[in-house]
Structure 1
Amino acid sequence: MQNPEILQPLIEQRADPFIIRHTDGYYYFTASVPQYDRIELRRALTIAGLVDAEKVDVWHKPDTGAYSELIWAPEIHFNDGAWYVYFAAAPSREIKHKLFQHRMYAIRNTNANPLEGEWEFMGQIDTGIDTFCLDATTFTHKGQLYYLWAQKDVAIEGNSNLYIAPMKTPWQLGGPPVMLSKPEFDWEIRGFWVNEGPSVLKKNGKIFISYSASATDENYAMGILWADENADVLDPASWTKSPQPVLQTCFEHGVYGPGHNSFTIGDDGETVMLVYHARTYTEIIGDPLWNPDRHTYVKPLKWDEQGMPVFGKPSVA
């Protein structure tokens, strides 16, 4: 008999999951689809309802061009009165002749229900650094909209670092990028030197940034930064980085490589829920990039006496 405490995936074969609970009472879900060829949305009045909710393809990649391959890690946000999906895409290989040349893009929908209405392509979000970049998220703090993402710096060893910048509009930066974190600890550099997939949570007088590190196999793990809510979020000195991961593979229960998370609010309107993907086996057949078996998990986040989040095991609710 299966242990009832062992957490099962919420949605299978959806990586880089993002769930938002909007003011209309609906949960909206998007994630990377295994084909990496489109942006899919679904909505429901409960988190569990997302499992069987209608899947609506709201945008398809073009056949060729600068953003015609490997549509990765979409996130849906409601900014300045409209819906935006931020995502990364690579150019067709006849342009760059290399696979991983992603840049970041946005689409917009002014309809109240983003599964309806028209999506407008807003173009590339230019960070002023012409290198591989991905995994954008946005958050508003003290009335200012911020952009937070992962990008490569050719002068720094590794594949990607975490950057933040203010936004002038929901599709344009309003200031230069500021680096907040780079791969430096042993658990961040296994397979690849990576800091990516940032997500923001504000609670207990602090701003938390979770992120993912290392290769996307069983080495994938999550870390965290935090700052006081009254600090200057554009000052790297405001942020403290945990030297230890906060979520990592659970060999005991067979949940591997947890990461690329988001946060949402539970059905009770209060509990912070951790949304992330993980695999259920380590012996990946074929190219890991095209292996579809990264599944969406959701579990409640817990808190310690100092007001810090406790992530626990990826396998246990």
Structure 2
Amino acid sequence: MTTKMNIRNPLIVQRADPWIYRHTDGYYYFTASVPEYDRIEIRRARTLMGLAEAEPAIVWRKHETGPMSANIWAPELHFINDAWYVYYAAAKSTETVEGCFDHRIFVLENKSSNPLEGCWTEKGQLRTGWESFSLDATTFAHQGIRYLVWAQRDPDIKGNSNLYMAEMDTPWSITGPPVMLTMPEYGWEQEGFLVNEGPAVIRHGEHIFITYSASATDHRYCMGLLWASCSSNLLEASSWSKSPVPVFQTCEANGQYGPGHNSFTQSEDGLHDMIVYHARNYKRIEGDPLYDPNRHTRVQRFTWTADGMPDFGEPAADN
């Protein structure tokens, strides 16, 4: 079960797909989708609560035309080989729904010690297995190998997106064929849309865990879980187990709807693991949920069971 901590929720309003990274310089860095879907912001603070009041720096804006000109979604900030990288999804600017939701993954690089300063360089599109709808890239290193995990539509598989993993040879490219880790197969992954997206990675004990989000982005949005042994071949699909039930979902009693697209960080004292996610505090949405701006960033502690599995509990009520 979760335990109350000195965190006010929502932490940051109208910021979906939140990413919080605690760097070795002692700062927490935050980025997320902005409601206008037109730019990438980064803010930092010494404490988690400090992020709420920190001044965001706009580090990149969408292009006027072309493949990076619309619907800038779900940026993530990573520090790799003494440089900062932002992974994000962008689409073409057209008047058709098909064009606006034809996303690809792109990468920015900054070699400054402070990612709120310096120059961000476009490294271009991160090419994956297919030239198709792709988004929500995240990366992690394990046993000297860096991996990319992302969501993509395989044109030969029914549905909107599955989760894939591949080895990386540079921070902006993969090498070798992608491996599919999961596709929407359970009913709770197929509500409204057939979606597996928004992967986040955390290691605990002898296992690597990947959380992900499923279904439409309204109250049906929820989180699933994959896990593999640290000693296994992570690029073998058979190494991964999958929870048959969601591990984090709407809690009407607490007034929290559609929790998902999470990331992980730690408390200031380093003693507690924290889940970072977005959720709305109402169920009824007018129009397309993607254009309802009130998916707010939330943070809460979670614990681990005796057998080493994460226990996320329930999304906490506003406080």
User: What TM-score results when the alignment is normalised by the length of structure 2?
Assistant: 0.96
Give the whole-Å Cα distance in 1 for the aligned partners of 2:158 and 2:47. Answer: 43
Question: What secondary structure is seen at the aligned counterpart in 2 of 1:98?
Answer: helix
- Whether 1:277 aligns to 2:278 is yes
Q: CA deviation at 1:236?
A: 0.5
Give the whole-Å Cα distance in 2 for the aligned partners of 1:96 and 1:176. Answer: 30
Give the whole-Å Cα distance in 2 for the aligned partners of 1:290 and 1:215. Answer: 13
Matches of residues 121-160 of structure 1 in structure 2 within 5 Å?
A: 121-160=122-161
Give the whole-Å Cα distance in 1 for the aligned partners of 2:295 and 2:45. Answer: 22
Aligned equivalent of 1:62? 63
Aligned equivalent of 2:175? 174
User: Once the two structures are aligned, what percentage of the paired residues are identical?
Assistant: 57
Question: What secondary structure is seen at the aligned counterpart in 2 of 1:192?
Answer: coil
Cα distance change, pair 286–25 in 1 and its aligned pair in 2 (3 A): same
User: What TM-score results when the alignment is normalised by the length of structure 1?
Assistant: 0.96
Shifted more, 265-274 versus 217-226: the winner is: 265-274
Question: What secondary structure is seen at the aligned counterpart in 2 of 1:176?
Answer: strand
Aligned equivalent of 2:312? 311
Aligned equivalent of 2:191? 190
Q: Could you tell me whether the CA contact under 8 Å between 1:7 and 1:315 is conserved in 2?
A: no
Aligned equivalent of 1:226? 227
Query: What is the CA deviation profile of residues 134-192 of structure 1, one whole-angstrom value per residue up to 9, with x for unaligned ones?
Result: 00000000111110000001211110000000001000112211100000011100011
Q: Could you tell me whether the CA contact under 8 Å between 1:6 and 1:253 is conserved in 2?
A: no
Aligned equivalent of 1:9? 10
Q: CA deviation at 1:203?
A: 0.8
Question: What secondary structure is seen at the aligned counterpart in 2 of 1:187?
Answer: helix
Matched residue type, 1:80: N
Aligned equivalent of 1:107? 108
Q: CA deviation at 1:6?
A: 11
Give the whole-Å Cα distance in 1 for the aligned partners of 2:235 and 2:18. Answer: 26
Question: What secondary structure is seen at the aligned counterpart in 2 of 1:93?
Answer: coil
Question: What secondary structure is seen at the aligned counterpart in 1 of 2:50?
Answer: helix
Matched residue type, 2:193: F
Q: CA deviation at 1:286?
A: 3.1
Cα distance change, pair 35–274 in 1 and its aligned pair in 2 (3 A): same
Q: CA deviation at 1:88?
A: 0.2
Give the whole-Å Cα distance in 2 for the aligned partners of 1:90 and 1:155. Answer: 21
Give the whole-Å Cα distance in 2 for the aligned partners of 1:141 and 1:312. Answer: 28
Aligned equivalent of 2:77? 76
Query: What is the CA deviation profile of residues 201-243 of structure 1, one whole-angstrom value per residue up to 9, with x for unaligned ones?
Result: 0011100000000000000000100001111100000000000
Give the whole-Å Cα distance in 1 for the aligned partners of 2:117 and 2:170. Answer: 23
Q: Could you tell me whether the CA contact under 8 Å between 1:166 and 1:173 is conserved in 2?
A: yes
Matches of residues 211-290 of structure 1 in structure 2 within 5 Å?
A: 211-290=212-291
Q: Could you tell me whether the CA contact under 8 Å between 1:28 and 1:44 is conserved in 2?
A: yes
Give the whole-Å Cα distance in 2 for the aligned partners of 1:4 and 1:89. Answer: 36
Query: What is the CA deviation profile of residues 69-106 of structure 1, one whole-angstrom value per residue up to 9, with x for unaligned ones?
Result: 00000000001110000000001116996321000000
Matched residue type, 1:45: R
Give the whole-Å Cα distance in 2 for the aligned partners of 1:232 and 1:4. Answer: 37
When the two structures are aligned, how many residues end up with a matched partner?
Answer: 315
Q: Could you tell me whether the CA contact under 8 Å between 1:6 and 1:315 is conserved in 2?
A: no
RMSD after superposition:
1.8
Q: CA deviation at 1:285?
A: 2.3
Give the whole-Å Cα distance in 1 for the aligned partners of 2:267 and 2:6. Answer: 18
Question: What secondary structure is seen at the aligned counterpart in 2 of 1:252?
Answer: helix
Cα distance change, pair 23–93 in 1 and its aligned pair in 2 (3 A): same
Query: What is the CA deviation profile of residues 230-261 of structure 1, one whole-angstrom value per residue up to 9, with x for unaligned ones?
Result: 11100000000000100000011110000000
Cα distance change, pair 209–107 in 1 and its aligned pair in 2 (3 A): same
Question: What secondary structure is seen at the aligned counterpart in 1 of 2:225?
Answer: strand
Give the whole-Å Cα distance in 2 for the aligned partners of 1:232 and 1:160. Answer: 23
Q: CA deviation at 1:116?
A: 0.3
Give the whole-Å Cα distance in 2 for the aligned partners of 1:94 and 1:250. Answer: 36
Runs (4 or more) in structure 1 with deviation over 6 Å come to 3-7
